[in-house]
Amino acid sequence: MWGYLSLLPVFLACWAIAGIWTVFSLAVVHKSVNLTEAFPYISRCGNYPPESCVFSQVLNVGAAMAAWICILRYHQLRDWGVGKCPNQMILWTGLLCALGTSIVGNFQEKNLRPVHLTGSFFAFFVGVLYFWLQVLLCWRMKSLPQPGAPWLGPLRLVLCSLCSILIVTMVVLHVRSLRSASAACEWVAAMLLFILFGLFAVDFSSLGRCTLHLQPGPNSLSPPASPISLQVPL
């Protein structure tokens, strides 16, 4: 039986995919982009209002959900016995990906291009690194639980490989001024990243609820008589 937390990755994937294609449609309707000249980059579609407002909202909400998924995954891997250092490395790459996504949405390319490109680097390059670390972890630690069908692991490997190839190809084509082809690679790579996040629904299928434990620190001035934590179901 799937828990309600498994719906979060699915909702993120659907939200992000529907959201950026909505932004694309608005940009075409309002003639912010001209498809007869070139196929636009995702960011180019969100440069001007009103689509820039929708673009920011979509990516901010998506970044918040992505960060929450990364935190849930961190605690899940910890409970599965993954060491603190590799688990924290995975967590921070995921949080950087979420931060980069928010930066892309809030700092439009036409306004602050260096900041926007920094956010794009975190969203794409660090984002695909996050999923490569997941694949590597499952390969190195055979004892980890593998929820879902046996083909799920190979599917993640294929999606990560395709995403990496597309991101590198995107950069190469952009340098060679083949902007339409580069933009097409960017769109497909973004879709693959959203799908990879959505696949966490299978890993979260056994999670029924999330509980927050609040405990006093070691230097607390007035520690409680017994080490009882405050539990708040989320």
Per-residue pLDDT of 123-154, as tens digits, reads: 999 999 999 999 998 888 777 777 777 888 89
pLDDT confidence bin for 231, thresholds 50/70/90: very low
Per-residue b or e along 84-103, where b marks 16 or more CB atoms closer than 10 Å to that residue's CB: eeebeebbebbbbbbbbbbb
In a domain? residue 104: yes
In a domain? residue 212: no
- Does 36 have pLDDT greater than 90? no
* Total domains present in the chain: 1
Q: Nearest 5°: phi and psi at 208?
A: -90, -35
In a domain? residue 234: no
Q: What is the pTM (predicted TM-score) of this model?
A: 0.86
In a domain? residue 139: yes
- Does 211 have pLDDT greater than 70? no
Range 2-28 average pLDDT: 90
In a domain? residue 155: yes
What pLDDT score does 230 carry?
A: 40
In a domain? residue 140: yes
Length of the chain: 234
152 is in which domain, residue-wise?
Answer: 4-204
Distance separating alpha carbons of residues 198 and 222, to the nearest angstrom: 44
CA torsion through residues 170, 135, 97, 60, sign = positive
In a domain? residue 229: no
Distance separating alpha carbons of residues 22 and 154, to the nearest angstrom: 31
Distance separating alpha carbons of residues 126 and 63, to the nearest angstrom: 14
What does pLDDT average to over the chain? 87
In a domain? residue 215: no
